[in-house]
Amino acid sequence: MRRPLFAALLAVLVPAWVVAQDAKKSYYPLAMGTKWDYQVDVGGMKVDATAEVTKSETTGGKTTATTSVSFGPQAVTEEVTVDDKGVHKNSFQGMKLDKAMTVLKFPVKAGDTWTEKVKAGGVEMAATFTTKDAEKVTVPAGTYEKAVPVDMKIEVMGQTINGTVWYAEGVGAVKQNVDLAGQKISLELKKFTAGK
């Protein structure tokens, strides 16, 4: 029972890092070796998280990437696909979703709202996403003048996870705030290393 809830939490904590080549999709720049170092604060306890692209393939206008994520002592993988319609999670924490879940729609436009229902490990998750107006965000890695916030509400196993992820063009996810049943969690980018 706890594994699907933890997986849902990681779906929120570890945003999709997606391979993208054109400017429209540059909120997810990704090449082999691209790496993000984050500082995560869970109720005052700080832990480091790192995500690194370990595999990517492009076919027919779609790119699918596998990212290895270490979050404290936990190591997980995530598979994501990007196409002209947006960014889609296929799996996380080694669990395949029954269908892809769109976590960002293209073109990125303030006011867009969409809902998703998926299953992971036999557990259903219902999610609503809303893109907001770009804003200035400062994190340890620097200041991003036009980071795009995407609000999320994910319901799983009777729990509601609310959060916001800020995406910076050319970098990806730079900040995230999450509220899981009163437990406050924040994630901020410390260092971004572009792949080759």
CATH number at residue 110: 2.40.360
For the ranges 68-77, 100-109, 128-137, the lowest mean pLDDT is seen at 68-77
Q: Kindly indicate the confidence band of residue 16, based on its pLDDT and cuts at 50, 70 and 90.
A: very low
Expressed as residue numbers, the domain containing 118 is: 2-193
- For the chain, the first-to-last Cα distance in angstroms comes to 40
Q: Are 28 and 82 in contact (CB under 8 A)?
A: yes
Q: What is the mean pLDDT of residues 95-115?
A: 92
Number of structural domains, the chain? Answer: 1
Q: Are 105 and 128 in contact (CB under 8 A)?
A: no
Q: What is the mean pLDDT of residues 44-55?
A: 90
Burial class (CB in 10 A: 0-12, 13-18, 19+), 44: exposed
- The reported pLDDT for the residue numbered 29 is 63
Instruction: Say whether pLDDT at 133 is over 90.
Output: yes
Write down the residue that tokens 């029954």 correspond to.
98
Cis amide leading into 107 (omega within 30): yes
- The reported pLDDT for the residue numbered 34 is 86
C-alpha–C-alpha distance, residues 42 and 182, integer Å = 11
**H or E element in which residue 173 lies:** strand 172-180
Q: Are 89 and 97 in contact (CB under 8 A)?
A: yes
Q: Are 163 and 9 in contact (CB under 8 A)?
A: no
Beta strands in 31-133 (DSSP E): 35-42, 45-59, 62-71, 74-83, 86-92, 95-105, 113-120, 123-131
The total number of residues written for the chain in this structure: 196
Instruction: Say whether pLDDT at 140 is over 80.
Output: yes
> pTM value?
0.85
- The reported pLDDT for the residue numbered 82 is 81
- Higher model confidence: residue 188 or residue 15? 188
- The reported pLDDT for the residue numbered 73 is 77
In 3D, which of 195, 189, 28, 12 has the Cα closest to residue 106?
28
- The reported pLDDT for the residue numbered 68 is 87
C-alpha–C-alpha distance, residues 63 and 192, integer Å = 21
